[in-house]
Amino acid sequence: MRGLTAQIVRVVPRGEYLLTLKAQGTLMEGSIEELREELYLTRRATQYIIDALWELDKLPTVNQLHQMFYNMLRSQGFRAHQAKQIYKYALAVVKSARENGGSKPILRKLSARLDKYDATVDLENMTVLARMRNRVFRIRLLHNKEYIGKFIGREWYEVIISIDEQGRIWVSIPFGWEYDPYETKRLISLDINLKKIVIYNGRNIRRVDTRFIEALHLKHLAEGVQKRHSYAWRRNGKWLDIIRTLHRRSRNIVIDWCRKFAKYIVLKAKKLGYAIVLEDLEKLWFKASQKSSNLSDKLSRFAYRKLQQAIITKAIEYNVPVAFVNPRNTSSTCKMWS
């Protein structure tokens, strides 16, 4: 990579965004069995509404949803605003699946969404109070107090409580965040590839190894187990656990590395007063899948969109400017930013 970057296609605009505080939690009031039961009942009710909506040719409005499902949910003990969150979320899931041409959504995650009437957030004491049906749960957030302090005083919109496969409690809280990037003419350009990321700041070039190949290897191991055991792996608990573990490790490697690299590059740009320039790879996977199935397979763990999203999220947090350029010829010869 030589020079700076090609002509800018778009920039991340200043304005109001949502940044989510996600933290592991531990119960201070209530039991894990009761919380799991509440999340299970919420999932079951949401899935019932998804199944009903999927059979309709035209999706109803929120007011029509209220008339269709509110009394049913209330009769099952759900609080008024909890019922509203359930049918609104079900509608959003079905609408998204239809717009993307997907099959009927099947919920697998144990989670519940609560608004300000059913949840209380106290970041000063690092606690969240959640009310579900006739039960109350107080959860302590297990996170760095300094990081949580960044969100104190900001407006939050909902609380999402979930339990993962390992039985850990997670709390996610979206906050409003004003993005006001600083002015600069200095750039850090990133050329994202499967094996390496090339970083160029106008003077020096640095190459950073990614972990996408490692994640791709684990994915291939999981697919190898499926091929060797044909359809038997679907009925064999041992092989099923191995396959799920490999896929989970592959996914976790990608997510963990993307977040760590995003934090590194954004803090670096913030310290030097630079803007971050990324290639506009919006249609990369679609175009590659039309040319070669082998290339499409490699791109399945080339999480460039996840990495770009992680960089944008961190950039919004630290008010670092981000721009996208046409990727054409940027890997060989880069032109001045114009």
pLDDT tens track for 207-241:
999 988 888 888 888 888 888 877 777 777 788 88
Which regions of the chain are under pLDDT 70? 1-8, 281-302, 328-338
| Residue 137 Cα distances to 10, 35, 216, angstroms | 45, 8, 40
The angle, 0 to 180 degrees and rounded to 10, between the axes of the packed helices 62-75 and 80-99 is: 130
Residue 223 phi, psi dihedral angles, 5° rounding:
-70, -30
Q: What is the pLDDT, as a whole number, of residue 2? A: 46
CB of 194 closer than 8 Å to CB of 211: no
- Tell me which amino acid residue 28 is: M
Tokens describing residue 226: 């499926």
Tokens describing residue 75: 């009769």
CB of 133 closer than 8 Å to CB of 34: no
Q: What is the pLDDT, as a whole number, of residue 76? A: 95
Which DSSP string do the residues of 44-82 spell out, in sequence order? HHHHHHHHHHHT-SSPPPHHHHHHHHHHHHHHTT--HHH
Helix (H, G, I), strand (E, B) or coil at 129: strand
Closest CA to 197 of 181, 213, 221: 213
Tokens describing residue 328: 């054409």
Report the run of H or E that residue 9 belongs to, with start and end. Answer: strand 8-11
Q: Structure pTM?
A: 0.81
Query: Which residue has tokens 């996977």?
Result: 285
CB of 225 closer than 8 Å to CB of 233: yes
Q: What is the pLDDT, as a whole number, of residue 1? A: 44
Helix, strand, coil percentages for the chain (3-state, nearest 5): 45, 25, 30
- Tell me which amino acid residue 193 is: N
CA distance 307 to 99: 24
Please, how many CA atoms are within 13 Å of residue 329, restricted to the half-sphere of its CB? 10
Domains present along the chain, CATH in parentheses: 17-179 (no CATH), 182-325 (3.30.420)
Q: Any idea what DSSP says for residue 301?
A: S
Tokens describing residue 319: 């008010």
Q: What is the pLDDT, as a whole number, of residue 334? A: 43
Other C-beta atoms lying within 10 Å of the C-beta of residue 24: 14
| Residue 206 Cα distances to 33, 201, 305, angstroms | 50, 9, 21
Per-residue pLDDT reduced to its tens digit, 252-309: 999 999 999 999 999 999 999 999 998 876 655 445 445 555 545 455 445 778 888 9
CB of 299 closer than 8 Å to CB of 284: yes
Adjacency order of strands within the sheet including 275-279 = 8-11, 322-325, 275-279, 187-192, 196-200, 205-209
Q: What is the pLDDT, as a whole number, of residue 10? A: 82
Angle at 245 between CA 242 and CA 247, to 5 degrees: 110
